[in-house]
Structure 1
Amino acid sequence: MGMVDQLTRAADDGDATLVARLLGEGVDADAPDSEGRTALDLAVRRGHADVVRLLIAAGADPEQRTGEYQESTPLCLASMHGHTAVVRALLDAGVHTGAQGRMGHAPLVLAATTGDEGHPETVDLLLDHGAHINAVMKDRTPLDWAVWFGQVPMVQQLLDRGATPTVKTLTTAHERSERHPESRHNYERIIDALLAAAPPTHTDPTIRHAYDQETGRAPHRQTCAVGKGQLPRFRPRG
């Protein structure tokens, strides 16, 4: 086995001692192995934060292309798997939090929506390091995606961190509730959370009509100011 393959295997195994020795012997930190994967790619995927820091210190590119098809980035992989310590190591190395990789994935969206309930600690870390809470990936914000997947705790976490619900967000919740009656209770909780968190708005008749059409609820009217595209604060009857 060549030294590069030894390095990538050690990184995959989380063997920081062997990784440090091989790097000290002059193995290129970013050299791809016989399968085209780098040590950083494999260490990130496995969640070995100590190895990630060693590789970056030895010159590995923290924003390199990763994944079987070079479709991702280290931060996207770490965010998707909820490897918060690895995310911290990458952010400490100066990695940006915006859309990245050839797929244009947003690390915050990946952290918020992968797994059954997303990865709350990773989400908070990304937000604390400047990730835009209303950033758009494939025409949806992190909140929109969390609503789409019916992730009640994550929806509440994003709202608590300042995510802005819109008419589109509420419409998504209602449509998903209709299509997935087995999860209707979760979507009803999400709708209530969206309404409770909505910024004060003017009772725009167009928006109110859209609300009525999408939810089938009869809202109480309130008089307040509105921002374009923002969700009015409706109070469902009953």
Structure 2
Amino acid sequence: MAEGLAQAARDGDAAAVARWLHAGAEVDAVNTTGRTPLDLAVYAGHTETVRLLLAAGADPRQRAGEYGELTPLCLAAMHGHTAVVGILLDAGAPTGAQGRLNHVPLVLAATVVEQGHPQTVALLLRHGADINAVMKDKTPLEWTAAFGQVQMAHQLLALGATPTAKALSEARAGAERFPEAAQKYALIVDALHAAGIQD
């Protein structure tokens, strides 16, 4: 049963998920790879299946990811599954540091891909995520400065992120490490100067 429910969740087959649950499958049972139906549905971005599993009692704070290092919200944020993020937040998923490694969903949404996931970032902030939350000693803005993510740095500043001297130093260090991307880092330095951070 656990394997059948997990497969249906992975495939986004909401009707099959409903059948397995009606037949008595445990909603948070792990499959042979150690992953739950919610984990697999979130990873694949299947909104209706995620909603159905949560309504059946799936734990929105459970471990998720290939190594159980994440939570469903972290997983959805990383992949930019904005609609799934919204469903999980409505189900009570917390926005702060979570999972075995204390990941911050906002940092993941902002930094996992080069442009970040702007819609996911905006949704997390509308649901009360702390724009200055710290993950591994850096705020989301400081991470984007370190990675040279111009667009996301601008978005975070526009949404109220606190400009910091650390963000400035991260951008400068990035330009030194990656001279081929110096122009991107210079744009972030300019944005931080415009936001009031002085040398």
Same fold by TM-score greater than 0.5: yes
2:36 equivalent in structure 1: 38
- Is 2:132 the partner of 1:134? yes
What residue identity is the alignment partner of 2:83? A
Aligned to 2:141: 143
What SS does the aligned partner of 1:72 have?
coil
**Of the candidates 101, 113, 116, which is equivalent to residue 115 of structure 1?**
113
1:68, distance to aligned residue in structure 2 (A): 2.1
Alpha-carbon distance in 1 for matches of 2:159, 2:109: 14
> d(CA) in 2 for partners of 1:16 and 1:194?
46
Match of 1:99 among 88, 97, 106: 97
Letter in 1 for 2:142: D
Cα deviation 1:24-46 (Å, max 9, x = unaligned): 22211111112211100100111
Give 1:196's match in structure 2, choosing from 174, 186, 194: 194
2:194 and 2:14 mapped to 1: Cα distance?
48
Q: CA RMSD in A?
A: 0.9
Q: Distance in 1 between matches of 2:155 and 2:147?
A: 14
Structure 2: which 5+ residue stretches go unaligned? none
Please tell me whether residue 177 in structure 1 is matched to residue 191 in structure 2: no
Where 1:133 maps in the other structure, the secondary structure is coil
Q: Percent identity?
A: 62
Deviation at 1:13, TM superposition (A): 0.6
Query: Aligned to 1:29, which of 27, 30, 37?
Result: 27
User: Aligned to 2:48, which of 32, 47, 50?
Assistant: 50
Number of residue pairs matched? 199
Aligned to 1:227: none
* Alpha-carbon distance between aligned partners in 2 of 1:188 and 1:70, rounded to the nearest angstrom: 38
Counterpart of 1:146, as a letter, is T
SS in 2 for 1:94: coil
1:20 offset after TM fit, Å? 1.1
Q: 1:158 aligns with which of 156, 159, 168?
A: 156
1:203-218 equivalence runs, <5 A: none
Q: Give, in whole Å, the separation in 1 of the partners of 2:177 and 2:94.
A: 37
Distance 2:182 2:35 in 1: 43
Q: What SS class does the counterpart of residue 163 from structure 2 fall into?
A: coil
Is residue 146–residue 173 contact of structure 2 (8 Å, CA) maintained in 1? no
Q: 1:169-193, CA deviations, whole angstroms, 9 ceiling, x for partnerless residues?
A: 1111111112211101111111111
User: Rg: which structure is higher?
Assistant: 1
Unaligned runs of 5+ in 1: 199-230
Q: Distance in 1 between the 2:32 and 2:138 partners? A: 38
- Matching of residue 19 in structure 1 with residue 17 in structure 2: yes
> What residue is the counterpart of 1:64 in the other structure?
62
Q: Any conservation in 1 of the 2:2–2:31 contact (CA below 8 Å)?
A: yes
TM-score by length of structure 1 reads 0.82
What's the TM-score, normalizing by structure 2?
0.97
1:82 to 77, 80, 85: 80
2: CA distance, partners of 1:47 / 1:157: 24
